[in-house]
Amino acid sequence: MLKKLIGSSATRSLAVVSVLKEAKRSFDRGKHLRMLVFLGIAVLAWKWAVIALVAQGLLSLVRGGKSKSKPNTDSSPA
């Protein structure tokens, strides 16, 4: 059952979109090598969705579980 769910085209599409979003985020931050890695993962993720899931998990570990939205702690005037 789980194998069928992970292998579905909807799951693969979602995984690819998620990885492409991370590639864009890396590009916007000037991390071009990381962007290229994510683009490669996106290509592989279409065939094997598990690769995208593992990459997303590793990315979360590397980031240390930090949330995407950080409160503004800068006290300097704008």
Query: Residue ranges per domain, the chain?
Result: 2-62
Q: Which residue has the higher pLDDT, 27 or 68?
A: 27
Q: Mean of the per-residue pLDDT values for the chain?
A: 76
Contact present, 62 and 38 (Cβ < 8 Å):
no
Q: Which residue has the higher pLDDT, 36 or 1?
A: 36
Alpha-carbon dihedral 4, 17, 54, 27, rounded to 10 degrees: 170
Structure confidence at residue 53 as a pLDDT band (50, 70, 90): confident
For 38-53, what is the mean pLDDT? 82
Q: What's this model's pTM, rounded to 2 decimal places?
A: 0.62
Structure confidence at residue 59 as a pLDDT band (50, 70, 90): confident
